[in-house]
């Protein structure tokens, strides 16, 4: 029977890894562990109850062409409907959301993992993603220069300072010290961050996230199944995604246009008019320190040029008015390639369920999750999550 169902919820969360390296397990074994935990959390039998499996993976991070083929077994997806979305995990959540909303399936699984410790030439993969015909690839700089270019223009146009960016890194590294999944939690002052080695001016080493391994598996369900399966379903009330032009030199580097467009789509769906006031927390992209500020402004959490001051005043601290990355974000947990969006969903969902322990944000009812696909892309997605009945 085909029918349109109104609401979609996350009813199961599972994860494994979350470490700079996971040498003792293969990526498949890491996925199996996360999947078993997610299905137990949802109280389902994957072989009987799941009608769709969606993986988010990119062949070059995997080191296998057509890596999709290697995903089914360890998720319980052999001889079942499986597909891969070659993008950040949030795109997988949105794909599952659409399949359920369309009435095609009742229960869908979304998976993404990072085994970056298996990739020896990480920077070369980012460089390989740069358009070959524009020659930049052959100039031979490390691809982090792209973050430097963007940061410089963003600061120049908005009047935000390098000190504010360092404040973001300091906050997220500190938040991570109370997150059991975080690999890079530490107490570093903005001054120490600014005086760390320069990667690509104005970006310093402590302002760039470091790689981590990990896997996240989510179980999504239609409203009727969600109500019978979960005591605390996390409702997906808005989704959006967007890609800007890949022409690096031609795009507006000061503003994250992909984030503005995708958030407008998601806010409209979720009925949010004043995001800065209506959201209780945000887990948004902070691959680099300035990205959190740039995204705060693009996502309308504050006005243009205001993000830096808000961070410095503690507005975005865990006990602030609008906590941003109370989990520690990518700076604190580590950059997890295509699994980044799902780790943010995991952290935000735990908050809405009141399961975030030492990281718990008071009265967290509505959360914003946003991801960016990293250098050299200008693509990303947004998901709005809500707790409650």
Partner 1 sequence: MVYSGIGISPQDVANSRYLTVPYSANLRYRWSTGAAVGRFLAELKNGKIVGRKCDKCKRVLVPPRMFCERDFIQTSKWVYVQDAGIVDTYSISYIAADASRLEKPLIVAVIRLDGTGEAGILHILGGIEPKDVMIGMRVKAVWKPKRRRVGAITDIRYFAPAGDAK
Per CB under 8 A, does 28 bind partner 1?
yes
Per CB under 8 A, does 73 bind partner 1?
yes
C-alpha angle with apex 197: 194 to 203, nearest 5 degrees?
60
Per CB under 8 A, does 81 bind partner 1?
no
Letters for 243-282 (x = contact with partner 1 by CB under 8 A, - = none) are: ----------------------------------------
Q: Which of 77, 86, 96 is nearest to 39 (CA)?
A: 77
- For residue 301, give the DSSP letter: S
The whole-angstrom separation of Cα 38 and Cα 225 is: 16
**Of the listed pieces 132-140, 164-172, 293-301, 355-363, which binds partner 1 according to CB under 8 A?**
132-140
Alpha-carbon distance values, 58 to 23, 143, 366 (Å): 20, 18, 30
How many residues in the chain? Answer: 389
Provide the minimum distance between the beta carbon of 91 and partner 1 in the complex, in angstroms, as a whole number: 24
**Of the listed pieces 66-74, 145-153, 264-272, 340-348, which binds partner 1 according to CB under 8 A?**
66-74
**Of the listed pieces 110-118, 158-166, 203-211, 343-351, which binds partner 1 according to CB under 8 A?**
110-118
Per CB under 8 A, does 86 bind partner 1?
no
Say how many C-beta atoms besides its own lie within 10 A of residue 267's C-beta.
Answer: 23
Query: Do 295 and 255 contact (CB within 8 A), yes or no?
Result: no
Query: Do 258 and 242 contact (CB within 8 A), yes or no?
Result: yes
**Of the listed pieces 7-15, 133-141, 182-190, 253-261, which binds partner 1 according to CB under 8 A?**
133-141
Per CB under 8 A, does 89 bind partner 1?
no
Provide the minimum distance between the beta carbon of 323 and partner 1 in the complex, in angstroms, as a whole number: 35
Tokens representing 158?
């908005």
Q: Which of 388, 387, 385, 389 is nearest to 272 (CA)?
A: 385
The whole-angstrom separation of Cα 167 and Cα 174 is: 11
Query: By C-beta, is 141 or 271 nearer to partner 1?
Result: 141
- Interface with partner 1 (CB under 8 A), residue total 33
List interacting residues with partner 1 (CB under 8 A).
Answer: 22-29, 32, 36, 46-47, 60, 63, 72-74, 76, 78, 115, 117-121, 124-125, 128, 132-133, 135, 137-138
């Amino acid at each position: 029977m085909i029918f349109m169902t109104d609401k979609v919820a996350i009813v199961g969360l599972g994860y494994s890894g979350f470490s700079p390296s996971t040498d003792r397990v293969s990526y498949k074994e890491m996925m199996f562990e996360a999947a078993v935990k997610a299905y137990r959390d949802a109280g389902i039998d994957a072989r009987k109850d799941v009608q769709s499996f969606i993986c988010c993976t990119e062949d070059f991070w995997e080191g296998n062409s057509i890596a999709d083929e290697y995903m089914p077994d360890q998720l319980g997806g052999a001889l079942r409907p499986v597909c891969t979305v070659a993008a950040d995990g949030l795109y997988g959540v949105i794909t599952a959301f659409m399949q359920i909303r369309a009435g095609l399936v009742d229960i869908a699984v979304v998976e993404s993992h990072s085994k970056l410790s298996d990739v020896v030439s990480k920077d070369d993969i980012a460089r390989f993603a740069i358009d070959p015909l524009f020659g930049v690839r052959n100039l031979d700089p490390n691809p982090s220069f792209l973050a430097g270019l963007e940061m410089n223009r963003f600061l120049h146009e908005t009047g935000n300072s390098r000190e504010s960016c360092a404040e973001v890194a300091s906050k997220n590294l500190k938040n991570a010290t109370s997150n059991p999944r975080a690999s890079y939690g530490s107490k570093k002052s903005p001054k120490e961050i600014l005086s760390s080695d320069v990667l690509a001016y104005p970006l310093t080493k402590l302002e760039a996230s470091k790689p981590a391994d990990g896997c996240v598996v989510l179980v999504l369900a239609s409203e009727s199944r969600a109500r019978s399966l979960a005591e605390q379903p996390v409702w997906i009330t808005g989704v959006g995604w967007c890609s800007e032009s890949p022409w690096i030199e031609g795009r507006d580097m000061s503003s994250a246009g992909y984030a503005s467009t995708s958030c407008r789509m998601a806010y409209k769906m979720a009925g949010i008019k004043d995001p800065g006031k209506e959201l209780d927390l945000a887990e948004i992209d902070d691959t680099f320190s300035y990205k959190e500020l740039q995204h705060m402004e693009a996502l309308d959490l504050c006005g243009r040029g205001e993000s830096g001051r808000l961070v410095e005043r503690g507005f975005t601290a865990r006990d602030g008015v609008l906590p941003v990355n109370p989990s520690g974000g990518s700076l604190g947990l580590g950059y997890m390639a295509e699994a980044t969006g799902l780790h943010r969903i995991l952290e935000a969902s735990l908050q809405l369920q009141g399961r975030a322990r030492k990281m718990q944000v008071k009265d967290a009812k509505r959360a914003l999750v946003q991801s960016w696909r990293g250098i050299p892309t200008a693509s990303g997605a947004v998901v709005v999550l809500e707790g409650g009945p």
